[in-house]
Amino acid sequence: MVFLWYIALIGLQLLLLLLLLLLLLLLLLLLLLLLLLLLLLLLLLLLLPPPRPRPLPKKKY
């Protein structure tokens, strides 16, 4: 009986460990997605030509 109890406890601990690992993997995936989005934004900003300040129209006196 005690043996079965130990097996149940070990199984529960393994289950909790697996859940924690899954949560960590999900967090890592979210972080990777955020990094990819940031990189894409940076690439877009670099590829787009910077907005040039309009030359002021010369006043004719």
DSSP assignment of 4-21, as one string?
Answer: HHHHHHHHHHHHHHHHHH
pLDDT single digits (tens) 16-60: 999 999 999 999 999 999 999 999 999 999 988 777 777 777 776
The answer as to whether 18 is a domain residue is yes
The answer as to whether 14 is a domain residue is yes
The answer as to whether 23 is a domain residue is yes
What pLDDT score does 61 carry? 64
- C-alpha 53/C-alpha 46 separation (Å) is 17
The answer as to whether 5 is a domain residue is yes
The answer as to whether 39 is a domain residue is no
> Tokens 């999900």 correspond to what residue?
26
- C-alpha 24/C-alpha 17 separation (Å) is 10
Q: Structural domain tally of the chain?
A: 1
| Residue range(s) defining the domain that contains residue 7 | 1-30
pLDDT greater than 80 at residue 6: yes
What pLDDT score does 55 carry? 72
